Structure 1
Amino acid sequence: MKLLFAHPQAGAADLLGSQLSRSGSDSDGIVTVQHRDRLFARLEEPFDVVAVHTGLFYDSYPWDWMPEIRRKQPQARVVVAPDEAVYDSFMLEALTRLAETLGFAVLPLGGTEQETFEALAASVEGRSFRMSAGDKRSGIVVAVWPASSKDGATTVAVNTALALASANRLRVGLIDANLRNPEIRSQLNLTETDRSQFKLRPKLQTHTLQPEDLLDSCITYRKMNGLHILTGSPRRDTALDMTPEMMAHLLQTARSVFDVTLVDLNAYPDNAATVCTVRGADIRWLVAQNNYASYRTSWREWFDCYWKYCGLTPSDVSLILNRASSDDKPERIADALHMSFGASIPNAPGGLGMKAVHEGVPLYLMPKAEPFTEAIDGLAALLTKRAEGDVQGAELAPGRRHKPGWISRLSALFG
């Protein structure tokens, strides 16, 4: 295979060659260029595959250079790697449509450097690639994020974690990865200020985080020893310091520690925590309300301008309709969004469902909130089955399990 690889980064060819060697391909025939002029000069020669990073064309439009590559290499398989340092949804759309017309492959956004080069190697070899959700023999990761801000992702994540922990069958992790607006610590009135994600940053940066380090930074909730909460940092200004590699390392460590890890995320895919967790999760719950601004406007627009370029499709996501009323038709909403239907979470009486916690008491533990509790129990039952291997890859649907008794609830409330 004769490969022309155009990438502005020094050492990129070595990274690609390493990935090709792992899959048994010959990496000795890679012709590497780091400038666009050299690229077009080498395009006069015939190649089997041409792989191009768009960083070479930072000041050019896709229609200025993509057709020229096809004209010079009509026989070659062409792979395009978008430059993630510069985000422009219009240019991404133009690049994607041109690639489809010209028969180019485009790599998905949002991966770590290793995942990007794995995807590049797969495309060069003509193989399909989808980022792995991790070792299936380890714990599962559930991404929980709202269609729009304040749609109730924290409500679903916190209360489902409590329901799982109440059954005393699984070790449960709850990670507050809404780095710009972490709320779990204050809502659950967790007072251990020396434990948070911020404490783990050095080990995440050096990829040296061990299971015992993660457990030591988590807080157990009252008497629920099976629930381990990793709170967000009050240093909200450091949210963008979290890189894809750091987040991937945190999630992989969480898999080795917990049977189920629920990750509460920000609505917007402008940070590594949200993007990497959604891409790498085993289960993805989009929490929405039955209003146009939530599931139609916010989700649709974010999907069209970002998520679809990450390789995500609506069928990869399950809809959780929060604060639902008896008149809502959540299955129709899920069908309209081309998603599977996960659950309908009714509002707690008296408007309590506007927050995950009311006056320090989680809604799952509130009296007179039985419909809400039963819906959360259904989600917890499905995660329990998935974690125990009963329904690998099963589509989400409401379920039921035995609820904790009043003694366990009082213990959770008062320690």
Structure 2
Amino acid sequence: MKVWLIANDPRIGEMLEHSGLFAAVLHAVPGQPLSPDQGDCVVVSDKLLNSHEVVDLKACAPAAEIVYLLSNRDDHQELKRLQSLCAAHGVKFVPPKLTAEQVAGEIAMLCAGSDQRASRVIAGIGALPQIGLTSSLLLLGVKLGGMTGARIGILGLNGWNPGDAGLSYEGKYVDDIWGALQGRQLRPEELLRGMHHLTSSVYYLAGNRDLKKLYYYQPEGVSWLIQTAKQLFDVVLIDAGAYLDHALAAQSVYESDLLLVQLNQSQQAGDQWRRQRDQILRPVFANAEDKCVLLFNKMHEGPDVETAKQLSRQQGMPYIASLPYIPGFSRGEAERKLLERVHPGFGGELEKACRAVMQFYELPQAEPELRADKKKEAASWLRLSRWSRAERGVAAK
């Protein structure tokens, strides 16, 4: 099988050649006569050929696989129109906001049928800001690490909120390593040193504090961060925040196997999620909706509010846990002891979510002795932390 490439980015052709999946990668220009054989693939960028020209190309070469590389647009309806046009004429497409390597991977899947391996990355998005997504993911990561003994990395890729409230955070932030990401120079050992230790096997990198940098993060740099984290950890959890219109969130969604959508019982949350789904998720990330599951938070009980099962049916999506509203959360956040406090009602629901993740990735449960050791270690770490704070308080006097 040969690939005919009509695109501006030479890196795509280089990566297709290095994949070894194609007999040849041939570069072409708009207007050049093509003679693809049965089963060949023609890859076209929408920056060089418009949709009408791509439809004409498919009509001239019906035996070839045509792949249309889409770029992002301000109007989500236009993007949906292009995707519908592709479906009508048997043209496959690659969504926008991807790195050159990811584009090459998508082409390989569409044309050569290459498998996409599980990435062991789970991204969480909130229907609304301040819905408790960061704290839920931190507690989920600590619980999952305790139940499995696996190394868990949590990345704060929320562009609008660093996610350090409630913690005595001692690590770096995403904006601290911005330069290393842009140059793809960040090394695994450097990332690990910059992360905050939640437990001996769970690490956290807080998100972006510099709002002016938000739209300067490039897909290549964010992808490099996620790939680096995958080298260090068995499972990577990502806090992508409540806004998906930047590279931090886009790469989080693309790289994930599961997308945890956090809702509460408010009408506003449900409405906002549907807007995100219809205007961003479906047009930009064509198949992302297939990997969405619900994670409810701040849930109340009573005859005047809907249950998790009712909300799940309304959204047409399964849910893995329903975390209750805990009044003491605000105090724990103010005291920066969010992970040290015991939250009644949380444990059972967190365990449900962890078991779902364990089943999905076939993670074994830790041996009882290992779990007991981790509990002792966590308890001693908390005692040491309190003793250190007390000593600092005495010294200050």
Which TM-score applies when normalising by structure 2?
Answer: 0.80
1:372 equivalenced with 2:351 (yes/no):
no
Distance 2:291 2:192 in 1: 30
Compute the displacement of 1:148 (Å).
2.2
Compute the displacement of 1:129 (Å).
6.2
Distance 1:74 1:411 in 2: 70
Compute the displacement of 1:270 (Å).
1.2
Question: What are the within-5 Å matches in structure 2 for residues 246-285 of structure 1?
Answer: 246-285=221-260
Distance 1:165 1:411 in 2: 20
Secondary structure at the aligned position of 1:237 is classed as helix
Question: What are the within-5 Å matches in structure 2 for residues 34-113 of structure 1?
Answer: 35=30, 38-39=31-32, 42=33, 48=38, 49-57=41-49, 62=51, 64-84=52-72, 86-113=73-100
Secondary structure at the aligned position of 2:200 is classed as strand
Question: What are the within-5 Å matches in structure 2 for residues 7-406 of structure 1?
Answer: 7-9=7-9, 12-19=12-19, 22-23=20-21, 25-27=22-24, 30=26, 32-33=28-29, 35=30, 38-39=31-32, 42=33, 48=38, 49-57=41-49, 62=51, 64-84=52-72, 86-125=73-112, 127=113, 130=116, 132-134=117-119, 140-164=120-144, 169-184=149-164, 186-190=165-169, 192=170, 195-221=172-198, 224-295=199-270, 297-308=271-282, 309-327=284-302, 328-349=306-327, 352-353=328-329, 357-362=333-338, 365-367=340-342, 369-383=343-357, 389-390=363-364
Q: Which structure 1 residue ranges, 5 or more long, are not aligned?
A: 135-139, 392-400
| Conservation of the 8 A alpha-carbon contact between 2:299 and 2:324 | yes
Compute the displacement of 1:280 (Å).
1.6
Distance 1:8 1:383, change over 3 A: closer
Distance 2:105 2:2 in 1: 19
Aligned partner letter, 1:372: F
Distance 1:172 1:239 in 2: 26
Distance 1:161 1:77 in 2: 42
| Conservation of the 8 A alpha-carbon contact between 1:168 and 1:226 | no
Distance 1:122 1:410, change over 3 A: closer
Compute the displacement of 1:111 (Å).
2.7
Distance 1:389 1:78, change over 3 A: same
Aligned partner letter, 1:145: I
Secondary structure at the aligned position of 1:229 is classed as strand
Distance 2:109 2:135 in 1: 39
Distance 1:5 1:163, change over 3 A: closer
| Conservation of the 8 A alpha-carbon contact between 1:259 and 1:387 | no
Compute the displacement of 1:10 (Å).
5.0
Give the aligned CA root-mean-square deviation in angstroms: 3.3
Distance 1:12 1:354, change over 3 A: same
Distance 1:187 1:12, change over 3 A: same
Compute the displacement of 1:47 (Å).
5.7
Distance 1:15 1:229, change over 3 A: closer
Which piece of structure 1 moves more, 199-208 or 250-259? 199-208
1:348-392 superposed Cα distances (whole Å, 9 cap, x missing partner)? 13xx45798343221x5435x31134322433455466667249x
| Conservation of the 8 A alpha-carbon contact between 1:152 and 1:355 | no
- Report how many aligned residue pairs link the two structures: 374
1:266-307 superposed Cα distances (whole Å, 9 cap, x missing partner)? 222212221212222233211111223213x22222222222
Distance 1:345 1:207 in 2: 38
Compute the displacement of 1:319 (Å).
0.4
Give me the identity figure in percent: 21
Distance 1:54 1:390, change over 3 A: same
Which TM-score applies when normalising by structure 1?
Answer: 0.77
Distance 1:341 1:205 in 2: 36
Aligned partner letter, 1:32: A
Q: Which structure 2 residue ranges, 5 or more long, are not aligned?
A: 366-370, 388-397
1:214-269 superposed Cα distances (whole Å, 9 cap, x missing partner)? 11101224xx3333221224323212232222222222222222233322112222
Secondary structure at the aligned position of 2:277 is classed as helix
Which piece of structure 1 moves more, 149-158 or 316-325? 149-158
Distance 1:13 1:172, change over 3 A: closer
Secondary structure at the aligned position of 1:99 is classed as helix
Aligned partner letter, 1:183: G
Compute the displacement of 1:164 (Å).
4.0
Distance 1:68 1:355 in 2: 63
Partner of 1:395: none
Secondary structure at the aligned position of 1:323 is classed as strand
Distance 1:46 1:262, change over 3 A: closer
Secondary structure at the aligned position of 1:55 is classed as coil
Compute the displacement of 1:160 (Å).
1.9
| Conservation of the 8 A alpha-carbon contact between 2:55 and 2:89 | yes
Compute the displacement of 1:75 (Å).
4.4
| Conservation of the 8 A alpha-carbon contact between 1:287 and 1:322 | yes
| Conservation of the 8 A alpha-carbon contact between 1:156 and 1:356 | no
| Conservation of the 8 A alpha-carbon contact between 1:318 and 1:342 | yes
